[in-house]
Chains A and B, each alone.
Chain A
């Protein structure tokens, strides 16, 4: 049974130090955002002095650059500078391990993307610690990567067996006043590719969580899809506002953008709730999944759907919660679970400015009860 929890950078160092000849694989994907190089800087600092500690770790860095098929654009120039900075930082200092850089044409089929990564991992019998900085990894590729890592943990994937996974996300310091990215296309389930209305078909009970941190259009579209569902008390709809403790100003801006839903949603029986940290969001989603599980245990045909709009760590948490739920109940037609997202996006500005804290998810492919304490 897989399990996700909030970790920290120091525990990664302890893992490496505590493993004899630890094989460490780090995947970075710098793009045009300043924060996309932040994890690299922090990791270099984290690994300083590992050799002096008597650790005999073997560190492999994979840097991939997603490159559009069309003519180069201005954003490519900023991205190129960031990639060069990362590569130079890794090759400049003392022992940094092996560094591989790969340019990957984008958009790319997720299966091909995983194949490219698997090629770069070839020759490694196993990975003791995989570290993925997903700050600038597109959601569809990130989802595929997470699934592959889960499969590889049980020797079913293309990657070497992965023992521990840390997923890193560098939060932006702030966001420009210019227009943010726009999500494109219909909102559909990541696993099923079905819209919410179809997912609701033949369900006796449903729990739908919608994070209102993305575009108002997506949140409203999902609420519209739920209108007139005819499920009465057998549907729980949760509109969750992410009030980031570290950036209240940005969160309040998102809240303002959703002011109409905040008024209308309670009138439609929607619970309007607030979460303050990624840990809180993860717990909230798990609590909702538990409601669904209870309904499933009572013999009802259920749906758990999470619209994880907003910061990417919420999307990662949502995917893991859905996977946990599916693993718990098996893939029968009685239990349906999916993560809802838009099909694509377009950038209207560099999107974010600066970098601040890093959120770390630790992913384990074991039962939570067997895990070591958090601290």
Chain B
């Protein structure tokens, strides 16, 4: 602080909205303990390895909002309350989640004690990953499962997209023998396990599960054995779980189950009527209004978000497909969380903004085609795949 600063001491907190904070509301909403927990969780597992403390990042985001326009003070307060409600998942928690799910797999699915199961799990299961990103590797390391890279134990088919390639290879005379051999090993397993880091809107996991069910159906029609499909979700929302239930009901299939470690029920979505993230009704209303304003001023003009907006079917005001979450993990912030958490304006933007948990996008640009989807459409339309599998 400079002693001659006309704003007086502590100029960081000189903006008028700091004067208006209501202490009673702050206490009722448990703001202090929520923010302190965030601070302390990041001590051992900082967000994306940053060295900037979380309170500093939150303060900076509030300042960006303050400069963005003449917003009501209640909206800025609402932003503070939203940030305080971050559900932060440190790395060790996510590793421990794989441990819990492994126990559910061994004891809940195989009926085996987990230490005894360790020796046989790779001969029982083929592991797929939802959005492949080395989850199988971490799952095996955390749980002491050896032999992950042995081809005779685990074929190198880590996701449903790769599975589609192998199924289509059955139609290619040059590759069909190799593809048949890989698929025979995979369907000989008693379980197909789909590893999922986060299923929030449910869209991606339902899509993968639908495709696995299709592939399993092809194997069944070819007279091969039918593996049970088990979905292991580190993080699952009630909304995604409903989608899974709906899919199973729609397809009327047996042999599907799922397990979750971290489970977000409806109370964790700021848009749901049952939300408990912010208890004060007027503050909650302000939070929703802020999100709408944020979409109009930052998200809609940003063409980088066109594809996501298109797939979401809205303006992303409450995150992807209106999930309204406040979830952040140590490595990234999902798009299903509120954009004021993760959005960062383009460099040189007239009105700049950066959320406290700037996201690293795994897809950028505006490509709309879904190559994987096209492959599965082909697979569904080519009955000769069944014949090729049978040979």
A residues touching B (Cβ–Cβ < 8 Å)?
5-6, 243, 245-246, 248-249, 252, 255-257, 259-260, 262-263, 266, 272-277, 279-280, 283, 368, 373-375
CA distance A280 to B264 in the complex (A): 19
Contact of A373 among B33, B39, B111 (CB under 8 A): B111
Whether A256 and B100, one on each chain, are in contact in the complex, defined by CB atoms closer than 8 angstroms, is no
Query: B139-169 vs A: 1/0 string, CB under 8 Å?
Result: 0000000000000000000000000000000
- The reply to whether A272 and B261 contact each other, CB–CB distance below 8 Å, is no
- Which one of B87, B104, B263 contacts A279 once the chains associate, using CB atoms below 8 Å? B104
B113 A248 Cβ-Cβ under 8 A? no
- Ordered by A's residue number, 19 sampled pairs between the chains whose C-beta atoms are within 8 Å are A243-B93, A245-B261, A246-B263, A248-B265, A249-B268, A252-B87, A256-B33, A260-B36, A260-B40, A266-B44, A272-B44, A274-B92, A274-B93, A276-B96, A277-B103, A279-B100, A373-B111, A374-B107, A375-B108
Known contacts A248-B265, A255-B37, A279-B103; 13 further A-B pairs (Cβ under 8 A): A5-B107, A248-B268, A249-B268, A262-B40, A272-B44, A272-B92, A274-B92, A274-B97, A276-B261, A279-B100, A283-B114, A374-B107, A374-B112
Closest residue of chain B to A261 (Cβ to Cβ) is B40
Measured between alpha carbons, how far is A259 from B104 in the docked complex, in Å?
29
Residue B34, interface by CB 8 Å? yes
Instruction: Provide the residues of chain B in CB contact with A259, threshold 8 Å.
Output: 33, 36-37, 39-40
Evaluate contact between A375 and B111: CB separation under 8 angstroms: yes
A8 to B43, alpha carbons, bound, how many Å?
40
| Cα–Cα, bound, A257→B36 (Å) | 10
Judge whether B100 and A280 touch: CB under 8 Å.
Answer: yes
The main secondary structure of chain B at its interface with chain A is helix
Query: How far in angstroms is the closest Cβ of chain A from B45?
Result: 10
The answer to the question of B312 belonging to the interface, with a C-beta cut-off of 8 Å to chain A, is no
| Complex Cα spacing A275 to B260, Å | 12
The interface residues of chain B lying within 8 Å CB-to-CB of A266 are: 43-44
Contacts of A5 in B (CB 8 A): 107, 113
Chain A residues whose CB sits within 8 angstroms of the CB of B33 once the complex forms = 256-257, 259
Closest to A258 in B: B37
Chain A residue contacts of B43, Cβ below 8 A: 263, 266
**Top 6 closest pairs, chain A to chain B, by CB:** A263-B40, A374-B111, A373-B111, A276-B100, A280-B100, A375-B111
Contacts of B263 in A (CB 8 A): 245-246, 248
Give the chain A neighbours of B40 by CB distance below 8 A.
259-260, 262-263
A277 touches B87 (CB 8 A): no
- Return B262 CB to nearest CB of chain A, in Å: 6
Q: Which of B103-149 contact A (CB under 8 A)?
A: 103-104, 107-108, 111-114
Residue contact A277 to B104, C-beta cutoff 8 Å: yes
Query: B74 at interface (Cβ–Cβ under 8 A)?
Result: no
Known A259-B40, A272-B92; judge A249-B100 contact (CB<8 A).
Answer: no
**Bound complex: CA of A272 vs CA of B37, how far in Å?**
14
| Residue from A249, A273, A277, A280 in contact with B92 in the complex, judged by beta carbons closer than 8 Å | A273
CA–CA, A266 and B104, complex, Å: 28
What residues of chain B have their CB less than 8 Å away from a CB belonging to chain A?
30, 33-34, 36-37, 39-41, 43-44, 87, 92-93, 96-97, 99-100, 103-104, 107-108, 111-114, 260-265, 267-268, 276
Cα separation A50 to B63 with both chains bound (whole Å) = 67
Q: Cβ of B41 and Cβ of A262 under 8 Å apart?
A: yes
CA distance A5 to B103 in the complex (A): 12
Least Cβ–Cβ distance between A210 and chain B, in angstroms: 16
Q: Identify which of A257, A276, A368 contacts B262 (C-beta below 8 A).
A: A276
Give the shortest distance, in Å, between B255 (CB) and chain A (any CB).
Answer: 14
The answer to whether A277 touches B100 (Cβ under 8 A) is yes
Distance, CA A66 to CA B276, complexed state (A)? 36
CA distance in complex: A274, B43 (Å): 16
* B272 CB, min distance to chain A CBs, angstroms: 13
Contact B36 A275 (CB under 8 A): no
Q: Given the complex of chains A and B, what is the CA–CA distance between A240 and B99 in angstroms?
A: 14
User: How many angstroms between the C-alpha atoms of A246 and B263 in the bound complex?
Assistant: 7
Query: B276 and A274: CB pair below 8 A?
Result: no
- Contact (Cβ within 8 A) A274 B114: no
CB nearest neighbor in B for A240: B96
**Identity of the chain B residue whose Cβ is nearest the Cβ of A279 in the assembled complex:** B103
Given the interface pairs A262-B40, A276-B96, A280-B99, the reply to whether A243 lies near B262 with Cβ below 8 Å is yes
Shortest Cβ distance from B260 into A: residue: A245
A277 to chain B, nearest CB (A): 6
Taking CB as reference atom, which chain A residue is nearest B87?
Answer: A252
Cα–Cα, bound, A323→B10 (Å): 58
Contact B276 A249 (CB under 8 A): yes
Please indicate the chain B residues that have their CB under 8 angstroms from the CB of A255 in the complex. Answer: 37
| Given A276-B261, A368-B113: A6 touches B107 (CB 8 Å cut-off) | yes
**Chain A residue contacts of B112, Cβ below 8 A:** 373-374
Q: Which residues of A contact B96 (CB under 8 A)?
A: 273-276, 280
For residue A249, which residues in chain B have a CB less than 8 angstroms away from its CB?
265, 267-268, 276
Nearest Cβ in chain A — how far from B88, in angstroms? 10
Chain A residues with Cβ under 8 A from B36's Cβ? 256, 259-260
Residues of B within 8 A of A283 (CB): 99, 103, 114
Q: How far is the CB of A205 from chain B (nearest CB, A)?
A: 22
A125 CA / B113 CA spacing, docked (Å): 33
* Cα–Cα, bound, A252→B92 (Å): 16
- A252 (CB) vs chain B CBs: closest residue: B87
Q: Which of A246, A256, A273 contacts B34 (CB 8 A)?
A: A256
Contact B37 A276 (CB under 8 A): no
Kindly state the separation between the CA atoms of A283 and B263 in the bound complex, as whole angstroms. 20
A328 to chain B, nearest CB (A): 15
A183 to B222, CA, bound (A): 63
- The distance in angstroms between the C-alpha atoms of A246 and B262, with both chains bound, is 8
A343, chain B: closest CB distance, angstroms:
28
Chain A residues positioned under 8 Å from B265 (CB to CB): 248-249
Question: Which residue in chain A gives the minimum CB-CB distance to B235?
Answer: A248
Contacts of B92 in A (CB 8 A): 272-274
In the complex, A181 Cα to B330 Cα: how many Å?
Answer: 34
Shortest distance between the CB of B200 and any CB in chain A (Å): 14
CA distance A245 to B112 in the complex (A): 22
Chain B residue numbers with a CB within 8 Å of A262 are: 37, 40-41
Residues of B near A374 (CB, < 8 A) are: 107-108, 111-112
How many Å from the CB of A264 to the closest CB on chain B?
9
Given contact pairs A248-B263, A248-B264, A279 touches B37 in the complex (Cβ within 8 A): no
Known: A262-B37, A272-B92. A256 touches B44 (CB 8 A): no
- Min CB–CB distance A375 → chain B (angstroms): 4
Chain A positions within 8 Å of B39 at CB level: 259, 263
| Residue on A nearest B94 in the bound complex, by CB | A274
Residue of A nearest to B277 (CB): A249
Separation of A273 and B97 alpha carbons in the complex (Å): 10
CB distance from A271 to the nearest CB of B (A): 8
Q: How far is the CA of A279 from the CA of B87 in the complex (A)?
A: 24
Q: Which of B30, B104, B111, B262 contacts A248 (CB 8 A)?
A: B262
Q: Which residue of A lies closest to B41 (CB)?
A: A262
